[in-house]
């Protein structure tokens, strides 16, 4: 064959082989590419499946969380619904309680109104009786004035007669003097003749005799005048004190120093205490008063040494109980309102006392101190009432003695003003009150009457004496003061112990509620003079050691017995 042909055939065959190889390569490449595409698609599908699985898991978790939140929300809604039902039930119960309390309050108000009407009727009847008594007193005063006028006319007639008699006596005395002069001259001449004395010597002897006789008669006259003056002074003093006591009619009911608050029911005690005691702790911290809650039915006790603070706490607790809402913030709000109310009451009480006594021009701070005594008691007697009563008594006695009435009332009204500060300032209330009065510009006589009404300072003025007398009359009248049984028993026991401590004492008896102590002594050890000395010593020790109203009489009894036998 032709080489060219062979070459052509070879070339053609090579081309064919190459074409086949290329075709096979292309097929393999397409197959590889297809395989790669399938692998990639498989990977993509796997990734899609993974993402779908993740999204499915996320969706499951979100659905689970939504279901949990829905369950929690449902539980919360159920709880809120239950709480709302409980609150509604509590509100219904409280509303029922409020209705019941309102009904009870309405009943109490009706009862109070009925009692008030009865009291008004009784007061009207008493007023009518007092008016009739006043008319009778006016009639008696008119009759007494008529008798006094008649007595004055009789005294005037007697004075005229006495003046006439004095003129006659003066004329007679003049004649007697002339006769005595003549007799003296004759006596002098006789003495000169008989005693051989000169007229000057005789005159000196006569003068000495007359002076001695005149001194004796003057001493007797002075003693008689002193006795009559003492008797007349005692009688006038009794009359003045009796008139002052008769013209003052004060109440005999003493106020108690213990504040007890009555509750509508015992369930209120739990609300006062509060959860874990927070209400009672807040109340005591705000008011400064101890609140005692015990087994006493429907009552609590307020304890404090300051009467004003105790009264503020009582009004606060009463307002909280009436309102029913007891919580810390409410306690502070009601306390502030109650404190202002008590301050206003004290100030109004002091102003009423000044108006009642007709006194004015007093320092405002001194008026405030007087008002604070509205809730202060001494032996159960209200101090402000005691001051007003003592001022009335001092004014009446000052009018009888022709002394300034307003000045005496002012002294008696302010004599115990220091008691408003004795729990804040140390010292005697008389000295404290005097310093306060001096600081606020009171007169020196008023200051002296205050500091001397318990004899801590020597008495120098009549106003101070009147203040002491009015204080003793107001505190010593029946029913004015009282003391606890414990103090009463302690005082009686101490009286017996003091008397029993002396040598020679056999038995001691405290009698008449401690107003008299009878001491029985051994006659072999104590004689009559020793009994008098013993009585004086026991009385002095009692006066020095004990504090008591009025006087205590000490009586020492010494009994001697003689026994004889007849055979």
Strands (E), 512-552: 516-521
**Highest-pLDDT range among 205-214, 296-305, 429-438, 477-486:** 429-438
The CATH number given to 259-476 is 1.10.3210
Give the domain 485-558 fold: Alpha-Beta Plaits (3.30.70)
Is the per-residue pLDDT at 226 higher than 70? no
Is the per-residue pLDDT at 195 higher than 60? no
pLDDT of residue 274: 82
Mean pLDDT along residues 332-343: 88
Q: 543-559 pLDDT, tens per residue?
A: 888 777 667 888 898 87
CA angle (273, 278, 281) in 5-degree steps: 85
More confident residue, 502 or 202: 502
Mean pLDDT of the chain: 78
Q: 367-382 pLDDT, tens per residue?
A: 888 888 888 777 667 8
Q: 106-159 pLDDT, tens per residue?
A: 888 788 778 878 878 887 887 788 788 778 877 887 787 787 777 777 777 877
d(CA 265, CA 269): 8
> Cβ contacts of residue 417 below 8 Å, gap of 6+?
366, 369, 370, 373, 387, 433, 436, 437, 450
pLDDT of residue 512: 66
The H-assigned helical ranges of 247-327 are 267-273, 278-287, 307-323
408 and 395 Cβ atoms separated by less than 8 Å: yes
Is the per-residue pLDDT at 497 higher than 60? yes
d(CA 482, CA 381): 7
Is the per-residue pLDDT at 257 higher than 60? no
pLDDT of residue 262: 80
> pLDDT tier at 216 (50, 70, 90 boundaries)?
low
Closest CA to 307 of 252, 262, 354, 256: 256
Place of tokens 């013209």: 247
pLDDT of residue 236: 61
Is the per-residue pLDDT at 164 higher than 60? yes
Closest CA to 376 of 337, 413, 402, 346: 346
- Considering the chain, what percentage of its residues have pLDDT values greater than 70? 80
**Least confident residue range of 414-423, 434-443, 462-471, 536-545:** 414-423
> Taking the complete model, does pTM exceed 0.75, yes or no?
no
Residue 429 in tokens: 């209330």
Residue 4 in tokens: 């060219």
Mean pLDDT along residues 317-346: 87
Widest distance between CA atoms in the chain: 243
**Least confident residue range of 84-98, 157-171, 252-266, 535-549:** 252-266
Closest CA to 375 of 332, 339, 334: 339
More confident residue, 220 or 555: 555
């Amino acid at each position: 064959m032709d080489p060219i042909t062979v070459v052509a055939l070879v070339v053609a065959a090579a081309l064919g082989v190459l074409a086949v190889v290329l075709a096979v390569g292309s097929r393999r490449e397409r197959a590889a590419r297809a395989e790669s595409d399938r692998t990639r698609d498989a990977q993509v599908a796997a990734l899609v499946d993974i993402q779908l699985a993740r999204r499915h898991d996320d969706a499951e978790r979100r659905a689970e969380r939504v279901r949990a939140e829905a369950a929690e929300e449902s539980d919360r809604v159920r709880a809120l619904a239950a709480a709302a039902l409980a609150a509604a039930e509590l509100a219904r119960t409280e509303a029922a309680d409020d209705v019941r309390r309102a009904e009870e309050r309405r009943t109490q108000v009706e009862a109070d109104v009925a009692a008030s009407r009865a009291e008004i009727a009784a007061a009207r009847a008493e007023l009518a009786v007092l008016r009739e008594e006043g008319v009778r007193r006016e009639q008696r005063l008119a009759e007494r004035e008529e008798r006094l006028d008649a007595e004055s006319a009789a005294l005037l007639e007697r004075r005229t007669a006495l003046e006439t008699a004095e003129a006659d006596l003066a004329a007679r005395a003049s004649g007697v003097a002339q006769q005595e002069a003549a007799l003296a001259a004759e006596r002098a001449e006789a003495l000169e003749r008989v005693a051989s004395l000169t007229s000057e010597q005789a005159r000196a002897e006569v003068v000495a005799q007359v002076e001695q006789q005149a001194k004796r008669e003057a001493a007797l006259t002075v003693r008689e005048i002193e006795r009559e003056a003492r008797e007349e002074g005692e009688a006038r003093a009794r009359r003045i004190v009796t008139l002052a006591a008769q013209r003052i009619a004060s109440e005999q009911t003493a106020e108690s120093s213990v504040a007890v608050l009555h509750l509508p029911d015992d369930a209120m005690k739990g609300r006062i205490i509060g959860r874990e005691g927070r209400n009672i702790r807040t109340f005591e911290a705000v008011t400064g008063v101890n609140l005692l809650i015990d087994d006493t039915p429907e009552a609590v006790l307020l304890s404090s040494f300051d009467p004003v603070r105790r009264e503020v706490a009582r009004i606060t607790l009463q307002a909280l109980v009436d309102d029913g809402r007891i919580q810390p913030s409410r306690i502070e709000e009601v306390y502030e309102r109650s404190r202002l109310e008590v301050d206003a009451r004290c100030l109004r009480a002091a102003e009423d006392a000044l108006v009642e006594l007709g006194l004015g021009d007093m320092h405002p701070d001194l008026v405030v101190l007087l008002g604070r005594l509205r809730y202060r008691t001494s032996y159960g007697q209200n101090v402000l009432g005691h001051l007003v009563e003592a001022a009335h008594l001092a004014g009446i006695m000052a009018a009888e003695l022709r002394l300034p009435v307003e000045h005496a009332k002012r002294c008696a009204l302010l004599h115990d003003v220091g008691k408003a500060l004795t729990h804040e300032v140390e010292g005697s209330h008389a000295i404290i009150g005097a310093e306060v009065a001096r600081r606020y510009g009171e007169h020196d006589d008023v200051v002296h009457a205050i500091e001397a009404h318990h004899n801590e300072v020597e008495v120098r003025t009549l106003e101070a004496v009147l203040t002491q007398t009015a204080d003793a009359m107001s505190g010593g009248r029946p029913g004015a003061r009282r003391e606890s049984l414990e103090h009463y028993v302690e005082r009686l026991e101490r009286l017996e112990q003091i008397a029993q401590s002396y040598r020679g004492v056999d038995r001691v008896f405290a009698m008449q509620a401690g107003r008299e102590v009878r001491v029985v002594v051994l006659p072999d050890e104590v004689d009559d003079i020793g009994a008098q000395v013993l009585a004086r010593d026991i009385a002095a020790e009692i006066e020095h050691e004990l504090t008591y109203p009025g006087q205590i009489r000490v009586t020492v009894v010494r009994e001697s017995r003689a026994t004889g036998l007849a055979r």
